[in-house]
Chains A and B, each alone.
Chain A
Amino acid sequence: MDKTILSGNEAFARGAFEAGVKVASAYPGTPSTEILENIAHHYPSIDSSWAPNEKVSLEVAIGASFGGARALCTMKHVGVNVAADPLFTLSYTGVRGGLVLIVADDPELHSSQNEQDSRHYARFAKVPMFEPSDSEEARAFTRLAFEASEQFDTPVMVRSTTRISHSKSIVYPQAPVEGLPAPSLARDPAKLVMLPGNARKRHYFVEERLAKMAEWSCAQAFNRIEKGKGDVGVITAGVAYQYAKEVLPEAHVLKIGLVHPLPKQLIRDFAARCKTLYVIEELDPFIEEQVRAMGIAVHGKDQLPICGELTPGRVAAGLLKKEIPQGHTPSETLPQRPPNMCPGCPHRGVFYQLNRLKAYVTGDIGCYTLGFMPPLSAMDTCVCMGASIGNATGISKVLPPEDQKKVVAVIGDSTFLHTGINGLIDMVYNGSTATVIILDNSTTGMTGRQDHPGTGYSLKGDPSYQVDLEALCRSVGVKHVYTIDPYGLEETRELIKREMERPETSVIITRRACMLHKRDLIQRKPPLFVDADKCTACKACLKLGCPAIKWNPSAGTKGQAEIDKLICVGCEVCMQVCKFGAFGVCDEN
Chain B
Amino acid sequence: MKTKVQNILLVGVGGQGILLASEVLSEVLMLSGHDVKKAEVHGMAQRGGSVVSHVRYGEKVYSPIIPEGEADILFGFELLESYRYLPLLKKEGQVVASDLQIVPPGVALGKESYPEDIPAKIKAAFPRSRIVNAMALAQQAGNMRTVNTVLLGALSNLMDIPEGAWNQAMHNRVPAKFLEENLKAFALGRQA
* Interface residue ranges, A against B (CB under 8 Å): 3-5, 30-31, 110-111, 134, 162-163, 166-170, 239, 242-243, 245-246, 311-313, 316, 324-330, 332, 334-342, 367, 370, 373, 375, 446-448, 539, 542, 545, 547, 549-551, 553, 559
Contacts and interface: CB of A to CB of B under 8 A. Distances in A.
Please report whether the interface of chain B is mostly helix, strand, loop or mixed according to DSSP: mixed
Contacts of A367: 47
Contact of B68 (A242, A326, A447, A448): A326
A134 B62 CA distance: 9
Contacts of B126: 328
A559 B39 CA distance: 41
Given A246-B63, A327-B93, A339-B46, A163 B39 contact: yes
Contact of A312 (B42, B49, B65, B81): B65
B107 interface: yes
Contacts of B87: 326-329
A373 B47 CA distance: 13
A580 to B, nearest CB: 18
B109 interface: yes
B175 interface: no
Given A312-B67, A339-B49, A550 B108 contact: yes
Given A167-B38, A170-B36, A242-B62, A337 B69 contact: no
A330 B115 CA distance: 10
Nearest to A4: B30
Given A330-B84, A339-B47, A111 B37 contact: no
B61 interface: yes
Contact of A162 (B37, B41, B50, B68): B41
B48 interface: yes
B48 A337 contact: yes
B164 interface: no
B46 A313 contact: no
Contact of B81 (A324, A337, A446, A549): A337
Interface string B53-69: 01000000111110111
A312 B71 CA distance: 13
27 contacts: A30-B44, A134-B37, A167-B38, A167-B40, A167-B65, A169-B37, A245-B62, A246-B67, A311-B63, A311-B65, A316-B67, A325-B90, A326-B69, A327-B69, A327-B86, A328-B87, A329-B86, A330-B83, A332-B115, A335-B112, A337-B13, A337-B49, A339-B45, A342-B47, A370-B47, A547-B108, A550-B107
B128 interface: no
Contact of A325 (B61, B69, B114): B69
A375 B88 CA distance: 31
A330 B121 contact: yes
B113 interface: yes
Contact of A330 (B13, B86, B93, B114): B86
A169 B64 contact: yes
Contacts of A5: 26-27, 30, 36, 38
A336 B67 contact: no
A340 B86 contact: no
A446 B43 contact: yes
Which 3 residue pairs spanning A and B have beta carbons closest together?
A: A325-B69, A111-B43, A313-B68
B17 interface: no
Contacts of B35: 169-170
A329 B83 CA distance: 9
Contacts of A542: 108-110
Interface size bracket, B side: 35 or more
A242 B64 contact: yes
Contacts of A547: 48, 105, 108
Contact of A339 (B38, B48, B64): B48
Nearest to B31: A5
A260 to B, nearest CB: 24
Given A245-B62, A375-B109, A337 B90 contact: no
Contacts of B36: 5, 168-170
A81 B29 CA distance: 40
B69 to A, nearest CB: 3
Contacts of A448: 42, 46
B115 A167 contact: no
B103 interface: yes
Given A334-B80, A335-B104, A338-B49, 20 more contacts: A5-B36, A110-B41, A110-B45, A111-B44, A111-B45, A167-B37, A167-B39, A169-B64, A311-B68, A312-B67, A326-B68, A327-B88, A329-B86, A329-B87, A334-B115, A335-B113, A342-B48, A370-B47, A542-B109, A550-B103
A332 B115 CA distance: 8
Contacts of B14: 339
Looking at A316, A326, A339, A375, the one whose CB has the most chain B CB atoms below 10 A away is A339
A341 B46 CA distance: 10
A166 B52 CA distance: 12
Interface in B140-175: none
Interface in B116-146: 121, 125-126
Contacts of A330: 83-84, 86, 115, 121
B48 A30 contact: no
A542 B106 CA distance: 10
Contacts of B40: 166-167
